């Protein structure tokens, strides 16, 4: 299943009330394995803490539980709620994401092929209006419209890791932090 506008409209105000930017709301899976994935970030750090994820999860659960009690549940099957930061190799879902991550590698899957290409992997060069410029090795610069993007995400590179690695977390020096100790979110499996 794809992004769900009705769910996005319900969840966006909850994220905004906490000072978070909503990155993506996606409902996927099938009966018995349905997941409502919510990605959000703090505008200043582009990340969420575990506490942030828990707080947003509670707010979303409260809204969805209220709608269920009123008989207006937007998700009628059992599902798991997953709230997280977008992670390092994050999805690029908004035009501003492409501008914010200019200078980093991205993989863009187009909604329809352009010049015989369906997948573009290269360096984001910038955004002008609703047009995205990407540099493709062996091809050069290519400009596409935001409306031509099916899905997109950053490619994990050393430069991206360096740009997103926190300098310290609650007084812990960077060298004391192991990559596995940096959680990206929490899951809440108690729905329906």
Residue 58 sits at φ, ψ, to 5 deg, of -60, -45
Q: How far is CA 70 from the centre of its chain?
A: 30
As a CATH number, domain 95-162 is 2.30.30.180
In this structure, of 50-59, 68-77, 80-89, 93-102, the range with the lowest mean pLDDT score is: 68-77
pLDDT classification of 179: cutoffs 50, 70, 90:
very low
Query: Reduced to 3 states, what is the DSSP secondary structure of residue 184?
Result: coil
pLDDT, one tens digit per residue, over 86-137 is 988 899 999 999 999 999 999 999 999 998 999 999 999 999 999 999 999 9
Tokens of 5: 């506008």
The pTM score is 0.76
Q: For the chain, what is the largest distance between any 2 Cα atoms, rounded to a whole number of angstroms?
A: 57
**Matching CATH number, 5-87, of 3.40.50.300, 3.30.300.70, 3.30.70.260, 3.30.450.20:** 3.30.300.70
> Given this chain, do its domains 5-87 and 95-162 carry the same CATH topology?
no
Domain locations in the chain?
Answer: 5-87, 95-162
| Residues 85-96: b if buried by 16+ CB within 10 A, e if exposed | bbbbbbbbbebe
């Amino acid at each position: 299943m794809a992004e769900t506008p009705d769910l996005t409209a319900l969840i966006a105000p909850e994220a905004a009330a906490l000072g978070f930017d909503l990155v993506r709301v996606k409902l996927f899976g099938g009966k018995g394995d349905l997941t409502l994935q919510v990605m959000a970030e703090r505008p200043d750090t582009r990340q969420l803490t575990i506490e942030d994820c828990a707080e947003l999860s509670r707010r979303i659960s409260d809204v969805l539980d209220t709608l269920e009690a009123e008989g207006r549940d937007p998700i009628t099957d059992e599902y798991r709620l997953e709230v997280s930061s977008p992670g390092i190799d994050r999805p690029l879902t908004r035009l501003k994401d492409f501008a914010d991550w200019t200078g980093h590698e991205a993989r863009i899957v187009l909604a329809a092929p352009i010049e015989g290409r369906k997948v573009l992997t290269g360096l984001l060069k910038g955004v002008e209006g609703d047009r995205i410029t990407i540099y493709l090795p062996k091809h050069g610069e290519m400009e596409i419209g935001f409306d031509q993007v099916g899905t997109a995400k950053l490619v994990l590179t050393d430069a991206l890791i360096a740009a997103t690695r926190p300098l310290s977390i609650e007084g812990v020096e960077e060298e004391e932090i192991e990559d596995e100790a940096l959680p990206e979110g929490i899951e809440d499996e108690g729905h329906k």
